[in-house]
Amino acid sequence: MKTIFREYDIRGVFEKELNQQSVKLIGYFLGQKIKGDKVVAIGFDARSHSPILRDYLTSGLNASGCRVLDMGLVATPVNYFANYISHDGIETDASIMITGSHNPSEYNGFKITVDKAPFFGEEIYALGDEIMANESMEIADDTHCEKIDVKTPYINYMIKEFAHLKGLDKKIVIDCGNGVADTVITDIFDALEFNYEGIYLEPDGTFPNHHPDPSVEENLVDIKKLLSEKGDIAFAYDGDADRIAVLTHKYNIKGDQMALLYAMKMENPTVIGEVKCSQVMYDELERRGAKAIMYKTGHSNLKVKMRETGADLACEVSGHIFFKHRYFGYDDAIYATLRMLELIHDGIDIDQEIDALPQVFSTEEIKVETTDEEKFILIDKIKELLENPPSDFPVIKNIITVDGVRINFENGWGLVRASNTTPLLVTRFESTDKALAKKYEESLNRLIRKAKELLY
């Protein structure tokens, strides 16, 4: 069971790892860590087993002495929003989102917020240790909770914040991927009188049309077709609506490029990117007078770093966008959609802005299979090998080790890091020259193979 306790959240297969016993224990011991007698709001995604896990979790939380509020089927950002509003005079101390995000339909999990901050890393690992030490403890069924409506105040908030966009003269197309984005998004679009068309709006946790991960090109085939036929701009969402893809007729705009666009309307912002972000983003931000910070991958890591630095914006290449500027500092694909439409409303030509950026050649994430036990050991071995790199290795300018190893070369960079959620190493490469990007990839892959050999 230990493998379900991940860096950013708790995630596993329904009934196999996430079953009645384990989930009740998660609720109970999490409630104990929240200090009991606290108010915890629960929401869940479209998977058929999410309401079942809600009941197990509620039983555990009730046994710990917590007061449980149930917001029902919601998007993850709506779940986060529950921490910032009052529910008939009741303030929440924590929220839990039951979601498998973009994982296959048999998966599910928990994204946990306590005192408006992510509950993650060592806190989750310690929770896992406590649960495994008490795995035979029995907890009675007790699904008592109070129903709350968070969607309505969330929708009203967005309508008010973006009232100036009413009647925007653009044809918008959206793909909700049968996730939970349309528990709120079309209500907002209708109120703002947008001209839009959507596909796969109906929440369906079997994801019958395509996998709900908009960072994968093959999942964008249908929305690209709709865009070419009927739209000016397109948006696609992952299963729990905290990640976004933005498409024009010319570009699939990655998260780091989105950050550059959003930052245009902020005065001297501080922007945090993950280690996979393009060097173009960091250089352009600095050139424009912004402060750019490179940090670890992961929504929890970035939220904590935003709090620490007072940053206005953070991003991941995969489409997690975090606004503190005019918002609350968490990743919200619905809010990011409206901020992108606001840029268009304000006269920003998105394609023209992307055209103007320095051209680089970047790979997608390239995954190297390993094991959960070996992946971090391999990163340590790679660091050792880089202390005396092979004679044919590209010239190294410097090495950043904030999350894995990002090697800056004369004309680009290469990254290898251990995935915190899967048994993989993740690599990415970028250069001003396509052949050099390939050379960096081949050189680092040889180093990874050498590190693997040293383990055996």
SS3 assignment, position 257: helix
- What average pLDDT score do residues 42-52 get? 97
- State the fold for domain 361-455: TATA-Binding Protein (3.30.310)
pLDDT bin (cut points 50, 70, 90) of residue 126 is: very high
SS3 assignment, position 37: coil
Sequence-distant (≥ 6) Cβ neighbours of residue 443 within 8 angstroms = 390, 392, 393, 394, 414
Predicted confidence at residue 383, as pLDDT, reads: 96
How many alpha carbons lie under 13 Å from residue 33 in its C-beta half-sphere? 23
pLDDT bin (cut points 50, 70, 90) of residue 405 is: very high
- The helix (run of H) or strand (run of E) holding residue 345 is helix 333-345
Cα separations in angstroms, 193 against 155, 156, 184, 188, 231: 14, 14, 15, 9, 16
Predicted confidence at residue 384, as pLDDT, reads: 96
How far apart are alpha carbons 44 and 240 in whole angstroms? 9
Determine if residue 211 is left, alpha or beta; phi over 0 gives left, psi from -120 to 50 gives alpha, anything else beta.
beta
- The helix (run of H) or strand (run of E) holding residue 305 is helix 299-309
- Name the nearest CA neighbour of 72 among 184, 156, 151: 151
Number of residues written out for the chain: 456
152-355 domain in CATH 3.40.120.10? yes
- What average pLDDT score do residues 231-235 get? 98
Residue 448 φ/ψ, nearest 5 degrees:
-65, -45
Residue 413 φ/ψ, nearest 5 degrees:
-155, 160
pLDDT for residue 3 is more than 90:
no
Sequence-distant (≥ 6) Cβ neighbours of residue 78 within 8 angstroms = 43, 71, 150, 151, 154, 183, 184
Predicted confidence at residue 7, as pLDDT, reads: 83
Architecture of domain 2-149: 3-Layer(aba) Sandwich (3.40)
Query: DSSP string covering 119-154, please?
Result: --THHHHHHHHHHHHTTT---------EE---HHHH
Q: Which residues are catalytic?
A: 101
Domain range list for the chain: 2-149, 152-355, 361-455
pLDDT bin (cut points 50, 70, 90) of residue 1 is: confident
Paired sense of beta strands 146-147 and 67-73, if any:
parallel
Query: DSSP string covering 381-409, please?
Result: HHHHHHHS--TTSPPEEEEE-SSSEEEEE
Q: In what order do the strands lie in the sheet with 321-323?
A: 291-295, 270-274, 313-315, 321-323
Contact between residue 279 and residue 412 where contact means Cβ atoms under 8 Å apart: yes
Q: What is the pTM of this model?
A: 0.95
Q: What is the pLDDT of residues 242-277, one digit of tens each?
A: 999 999 999 999 999 999 999 999 999 999 999 999
pLDDT bin (cut points 50, 70, 90) of residue 456 is: confident
Predicted confidence at residue 61, as pLDDT, reads: 97
- What average pLDDT score do residues 362-382 get? 92
SS3 assignment, position 225: helix
Contact between residue 17 and residue 131 where contact means Cβ atoms under 8 Å apart: no
CATH topology agreement for domains 2-149 and 361-455: no
Task: Please state which of the ranges 31-40, 208-217, 350-359 shows the lowest mean pLDDT.
Answer: 31-40
How far apart are alpha carbons 286 and 393 in whole angstroms? 29
Report the percent of the chain where pLDDT is more than 90: 93
Residue 172 φ/ψ, nearest 5 degrees:
-105, 135
How far apart are alpha carbons 277 and 414 in whole angstroms? 11
Paired sense of beta strands 67-73 and 39-44, if any:
parallel
